[in-house]
Amino acid sequence: MIKRVCTATILLFVLSFSVILLGDESSTKYFPYSLDSYWIYEDQDENEFTRRAVEGEEIGDEVLSAFSYEPELENWQDYSCFLHASLYKVNDDGIALVVGDEIEKALKARLKYEADSYLEVIMKDAPQGGSVDIDIITEAQNDFLLLPDTVVENEEWDVTEKKGAIKMKANDPGMSEPFIMSFIFDISETGIVTGSETVVVPAGTFEDCLKIEYRTETTLSFFPIEFEPDDDEIEPAGETVTTVWYAPNVGIVKYHQERQHIFLEIIPEDAGIPKPENPEPITFELKEYEIKTNGPDSEKSE
């Protein structure tokens, strides 16, 4: 009996000590930055891009680290702040990507594509002389909390909040005035460390990688509210799940994202409106990298 108690006590001590060790690790260990370091990533279609650490910026009282990218992003629908952030800062909260403007552009591009796809279908049956005008407005927090100051397994944190609104104005010659309706999406994103793993990518094998899942949660509201349908008459808005693996002293080594449409997802399946397929999952893996140091030895892939 004593032996069993001792064994259980030792196991509990070891597990709790592991959590403490993980909790005491600074987030900067998993997102290193030194001038002229670079990371080359490759997606599932063998498309590559390079992120390079460049001279930072001072904005007000804050000192921001900076990255450049090659090639430049051509379509804002493809933007991911995990991979394409230009500026970030380290403070008491942790590592925050300064990407509010970029997130707004990316969300607007996604909603515009979906609204245009919907409009293309419904206008086929529109009355002669009818038209629909669309206006899209987006807002986002300036800071995206990529990693909290201390990294603790199974502790969730708030990453960011953003909002998108699609305003549609239908003009019908048979109506005395246009019909206006707005769809408003409030999107919150959280992160959680789900564990640590060994990750094998083209750049090598990386042990003790943090595996973090970032998940969005979207609420939908309508304006004017008297036209808001019952909950069972509309599908929930689409969500995004992003999984990122961070290697100690290297940074992001693998990225996988699955996302649904946002606006198009709320259209019921029995509405008879064809919808494009959800975007294909995207995976990026680290292919080559070099982390510069102050001394003669830099860490890099072979």
CA–CA separation, 103 vs 106, rounded Å?
A: 5
The model carries a pTM of 0.87
Distance, in Å, from the CA atom of 222 to the CA atom of 233, rounded to the nearest integer, reads 13
Cross-strand bridge partners of residue 285: 42, 254
Neighbouring C-beta atoms of residue 70, cutoff 10 Å: 11
What is residue 44's predicted lDDT score, i.e. its pLDDT? 96
In angstroms, the CA 126 to CA 132 distance is 9
3-state secondary structure (DSSP) of residue 16: helix
pLDDT digits (tens, 9 = 90+) for 91-100: 999 999 999 9
Say what the pLDDT of residue 295 is. 52
Assess whether pLDDT exceeds 60 at residue 117.
yes
According to DSSP, residue 104 is labeled H
Q: Which residues pair with 283 in a beta bridge?
A: 256
For residue 282, the SS3 value is strand
Percent of residues in the chain assigned helix, strand, coil, to nearest 5: 25, 50, 30
For 13-36, the pLDDT digits (tens) are 333 333 333 444 678 999 999 999
What six digits make up the tokens of 268? Answer: 């019921």
pLDDT digits (tens, 9 = 90+) for 188-220: 999 999 999 999 999 999 999 999 999 999 999
Is 104's pLDDT higher than 80? yes
Place of tokens 């927090």: 141
Residue percentage of the chain with pLDDT more than 70: 87
- Average pLDDT, integer, range 66-70: 96
